[in-house]
Chains A and B, each alone.
Chain A
């Protein structure tokens, strides 16, 4: 089946630093990738949608200058949390899809900002 790899799986960093999370589709070309955020005991919230070679579309309330998304190829998208603060601590999950196929998700990145 379709495999989506997310790296790192867990990161702790100091407040004010930037953190980059990678999302790769390993066995298919992802025409579209998505980034979600999940707080404890809550459901997944879509942050942004990115198509290869074009700018990401952000959901309402998500700061595009804080959460930088790059989708440089059909197999790689990155999310950079800039100047991270404790309130940005969360579980970040990417997913990828090819045309009309179901979304497949990575295993998530647990981000803790001290």
Chain B
């Protein structure tokens, strides 16, 4: 699996968009970008994934650069409940398992 790099921590004001970056410069052509988040003392929650096109669902949007070496997870209107550790994972679609890095601790402030 390709290695990912994320900032250790970020703050965001409640109601504003939270933009979480992830670098994955060694991603291979058939590897997908997955995002999960882990709220304190809970299991990780799947957010979104994509290959090369931008993706949007009810939780977030995923923007992948054209060269696929980086991506950004966007929470359009952050709430206090979005405070969590966000993990960016790159892997093959059929790899099954996910290898977790250290993630980004997002703190949403009132």
Q: Which of A34, A49, A105 has the most CB atoms of chain B within a 10 A radius of its CB?
A: A105
Do A108 and B41 have beta carbons less than 8 Å apart?
A: yes
Do B45 and A105 have beta carbons less than 8 Å apart?
A: yes
Do A108 and B97 have beta carbons less than 8 Å apart?
A: no
Q: What's the nearest-Cβ distance from chain B to residue A11, in Å?
A: 15
A95–B101 alpha-carbon span in the complex (Å): 17
Stretch at the interface among A12-20, A66-74, A80-88, A96-104: A96-104
Do A102 and B46 have beta carbons less than 8 Å apart?
A: yes
Given A34-B97, A43-B103, A103–B42 Cβ distance below 8 Å? no
Do B43 and A107 have beta carbons less than 8 Å apart?
A: yes
Q: What are the residues of chain A within 8 A of B43 when measuring CB–CB?
A: 4, 6, 93-95, 105-108
A105–B38 alpha-carbon span in the complex (Å): 10
Do A105 and B44 have beta carbons less than 8 Å apart?
A: yes
B-facing mask of A42-53, CB < 8 A → 1, else 0?
Answer: 011110010000
Q: What are the residues of chain B within 8 A of A110 when measuring CB–CB?
A: 41
A77 near B: Cβ within 8 Å? no
B96 in complex: contacting residue of A91, A94, A97, A107, CB < 8 Å = A97
B99 near A: Cβ within 8 Å? yes
> How large, as a class, is the contact surface on chain B?
20 to 34
A-facing mask of B34-77, CB < 8 A → 1, else 0?
Answer: 10101001111110010000000000000000000000000000
A78 near B: Cβ within 8 Å? no
B94 in complex: contacting residue of A6, A95, A100, CB < 8 Å = A100
A7–B40 alpha-carbon span in the complex (Å): 18
A34–B96 alpha-carbon span in the complex (Å): 9
Q: What are the residues of chain A within 8 A of B97 when measuring CB–CB?
A: 32, 34, 46, 49, 103
Contact surface of A with B, Cβ cutoff 8 Å:
4, 6, 32, 34, 36, 43-46, 49, 91, 93-95, 97, 99-100, 102-108, 110
Starting from the known contacts A49-B97, A103-B98, 13 additional A-B residue pairs (CB-CB under 8 Å) come to A6-B43, A43-B100, A43-B102, A44-B44, A45-B100, A49-B96, A102-B46, A103-B46, A105-B43, A105-B45, A105-B46, A108-B41, A110-B41
For this complex, 25 residue pairs linking A to B, each with C-beta atoms less than 8 Å apart, are A32-B96, A43-B87, A43-B100, A43-B102, A43-B103, A46-B97, A46-B99, A49-B96, A93-B43, A93-B44, A94-B43, A95-B44, A97-B96, A100-B93, A100-B94, A102-B46, A103-B46, A103-B96, A103-B98, A105-B43, A105-B45, A105-B46, A107-B42, A108-B41, A108-B42
